[in-house]
Homo-oligomer: A and B are copies of this chain.
Amino acid sequence: MAGTRTVRILLVGVGNLGRRFCRILAAKSPRLEARYGLRLSLVGAADSGGIAYAPGGLDPGLIAALKERGDSVRAYPGAGATGTALELVREAEADLVCEATPVNLAAGAEPGLSVIREALARGMHVVTPNKGPIVLAYRELVGLARERGVELRFDGTVAGGLPALYLGARDLRGAEIRRVEAVPNLVTGYILDLLADGLPWEEALGRARDEGALEADPSFDLDGWDAAAKLVIIVNHVLGYPATLGDVEREGIRGVDPGEVRRARARGGLFRLVARAELVDGGYRLAVRPEEIPPGHPLSHLGRKGMGVVYHTDIYGTISAAIREEDPVPSSATMLRDILDIYCGRSTSAP
């Protein structure tokens, strides 16, 4: 390995994913330097309370610790300041921005969208697990990245830590993809499993809410918006087919009959909210709806913590992939995957 290359990183959004990403950086630094010759240096961070910036590098473990005890990054000794994410991205010297603010499909995907636009415009690479900006502005952002000669990566926007996008867009090159089926949402699967266990609807919802799996506004998950957003990203990025949320026939799980879910399980089947793109007359028909996954189907093994995708192709057969993630670590680690994919380039060397 010829020398070590330093990558200066700004982290925008230090919640569930951002905080875990800091922990991963702290734990993995020596290995990444030894194995890939990369020094990933977190030089700036922003949350809703302020910013921290140090050109020589912040301690990612300390950032995580601040957040874990409820502080803003503004409390970072000697580097914390007032200011917004957008100001940080506008003024800091860095090579790459990790955009990990919460998903916000309703409000124009802000603040993420503005941060990504600014970072790309300034010639910085961007990696993000935030669906919002990618769903709402796929063409614009991909075009902007290309124009500025930088990379925009968003592997974490679909099915958590599963590299569903890399698998589809890279390993299926040259194929006609005739059908995509995905189970990209965790909480709906959990609720459907509770129904299969015999719980009535109210109790199933209550338990998911009590365990923190369901947001205060459950519509995003229950009505299939999350699954539809992920499908739109797969369709644009993997299938190269322009689509928006409005193109998805969307049926959530609220109308599901618990008896049907229980009968499916008795037959060895599994009820899940399935997102599907199907090639029809040269275009793709997109739908999200709850349905039974029969035994023997490549996703029939999914448990409560499982998500997956199936690509039906002409020349590569039927290829499926699934992940079991017990916590949000894999979702946050997608930012590391994206960064390493940018800097390790095309070489397919071992981890």
| Distance, CA A241 to CA B239, complexed state (A) | 35
Name which residue of chain B comes closest to A331, CB basis.
B317
B173 near A351 (CB under 8 angstroms)? yes
Supposing A336-B174, A337-B173, A340-B174 touch, asked if A24 and B315 sit within 8 A by C-beta, the answer is yes
B323 near A322 (CB under 8 angstroms)? no
Supposing A163-B171, A174-B32 touch, asked if A337 and B321 sit within 8 A by C-beta, the answer is no
Q: Is A301 an interface residue (CB 8 A)?
A: yes
Q: Is A279 an interface residue (CB 8 A)?
A: no
The complex is assembled from copies of this chain, and their number is 2
B177 near A351 (CB under 8 angstroms)? yes
**Partner among B169, B176, B177, B296 whose Cβ is within 8 Å of the Cβ of A349:** B169
- Closest CB-CB distance, A16 to chain B, in whole Å? 15
A175 near B333 (CB under 8 angstroms)? yes
Name which residue of chain B comes closest to A142, CB basis.
B349
Q: Is A329 an interface residue (CB 8 A)?
A: yes
Q: Is A65 an interface residue (CB 8 A)?
A: no
B345 near A329 (CB under 8 angstroms)? no
Q: Given the complex, which residues of B lie within 8 Å of A315, measured CB to CB?
A: 24, 28, 329-330, 333, 336
Q: Is A54 an interface residue (CB 8 A)?
A: no
Q: Mark A319-336, 1 if CB is under 8 A from B, else 0.
A: 111111110011001001
Q: Given the complex, which residues of B lie within 8 Å of A322, measured CB to CB?
A: 298, 319-321
**Partner among B167, B296, B316, B324 whose Cβ is within 8 Å of the Cβ of A171:** B167
| Interface residue count on the A side (C-beta < 8 Å) | 65
Within 8 A of B (CB), among A334-351: 336-337, 340-342, 344-346, 348-351
Name which residue of chain B comes closest to A334, CB basis.
B316
B298 near A300 (CB under 8 angstroms)? no
- Closest CB-CB distance, A48 to chain B, in whole Å? 26
A171 near B320 (CB under 8 angstroms)? no
Q: Given the complex, which residues of B lie within 8 Å of A324, measured CB to CB?
A: 298, 317-318
Q: Is A51 an interface residue (CB 8 A)?
A: no
Supposing A166-B170, A166-B171, A173-B340 touch, asked if A326 and B317 sit within 8 A by C-beta, the answer is yes
Q: Given the complex, which residues of B lie within 8 Å of A169, measured CB to CB?
A: 348-351
Q: Given the complex, which residues of B lie within 8 Å of A236, measured CB to CB?
A: 350
Q: Given the complex, which residues of B lie within 8 Å of A300, measured CB to CB?
A: 301
B317 near A319 (CB under 8 angstroms)? no
Q: Is A148 an interface residue (CB 8 A)?
A: no
Q: Can you report 24 residue pairs joining A to B where beta carbons are below 8 Å apart?
A: A24-B315, A28-B315, A32-B174, A153-B348, A165-B348, A169-B351, A172-B337, A173-B337, A173-B341, A173-B351, A174-B336, A174-B351, A175-B351, A239-B350, A239-B351, A240-B350, A240-B351, A298-B324, A300-B301, A315-B336, A317-B324, A319-B323, A321-B321, A345-B345
Task: Give me the 7 closest cross-chain CB pairs, A-B, nearest first.
Answer: A240-B350, A317-B325, A163-B171, A317-B330, A315-B333, A173-B340, A321-B321
